[in-house]
Amino acid sequence: MKRVAVLISGRGSNLGALIAAQDSSYRIILVISNVEGAGGLDKARDAGIATAVIPHGGPSGEKKPREAFDAELDTALRAAGAELVVLAGFMRILSDGFVRGWEGKLINIHPSLLPAYKGTKVHERVIEAKEALSGASVHFVVPELDAGPVIAQSSVPVHPSDTPETLAERILEIEHKLYPEALKLLASGKVKLKNGLAVLS
Ligand code: GRF
């Protein structure tokens, strides 16, 4: 059973799905938020999971250097004995050093069919481009943003009447199935990062 830490910044609906889907392959042992009062922290507490807040601002509101924040994060994860780190709506870019330290053990979910539509304002751009399909992708995290090898993907139709909100909602529903499935593949050793590829066995 792999010990999993989940990093969040917001409401944590994916965290909720990951908590509900826990089985003999993984246990969530820690939830860390960089935002105090993030809704996901309550979901973790309600499930009896340890939580921590690591603010990215210093005591007088100044931004901490990225490396200092990442070092704190890394220390907390290692102290808790985390074996896998799952980003679930974690709105901070992680430094190359941190990402390399967790290579093959760090995953993210992104609300597009990667490699299409990396970055932010995904749904706006998908609708603007009149795409017929969009979806969600779970990928290994590499230093380049949203560019890591994809572990699992699932698609939904884009309707002509969609707004970014309705499309986000349709995609969120599939995220809640896809993310636990992908995490189980990783936790049970059925997918590994090898030579820059997600390899299934
Ligand atoms: C999801 O859409 C996910 O794809 C993106 O951030 C959002 C997080 O939502 N990375 P939630 O906090 O899990 O509800």
Which pLDDT tens digit goes with each residue over 91-132? 999 999 999 999 999 999 999 999 999 999 999 999 999 999
Q: Round to whole Å and give the CA distance between 109 and 74.
A: 20
Evaluate whether 179 touches 17 at the Cβ level (below 8 Å).
yes
Return the H-helix or E-strand segment holding 66: helix 66-79
Ligand 1 atom nearest to 175, measured from its CA = 4
110 is catalytic: yes
Task: Identify which of 63, 69, 1, 10 has the alpha carbon closest to the alpha carbon of residue 36.
Answer: 10
Tell me, what's the pLDDT at 173? Answer: 98
20 Cα–ligand 1 center, Å: 16
Across the chain, what does the average pLDDT equal? 96
Q: Flag whether pLDDT at 62 surpasses 90.
A: no
Atom of ligand 1 nearest to the CA of 88: 13
Q: Quick check: 180 pLDDT over 90? A: yes
Q: Are 175 and 109 in contact (CB under 8 A)?
A: yes
pTM: 0.96
Identified catalytic residue from 56, 110, 123, 139 = 110
CA dist 161 → 92, 100, 116, 143, 149 (Å):
32, 42, 21, 36, 32
The β-bridge partners of 192 are: 199
- Ligand 1: which of 7, 9, 14 to mutate, judged by most atoms within 8 Å of the beta carbon? 14
Measured CA to CA, the distance from residue 8 to residue 161 in angstroms comes to: 31
- Residue 95 Cβ inside 6 Å of ligand 1? The answer reads no
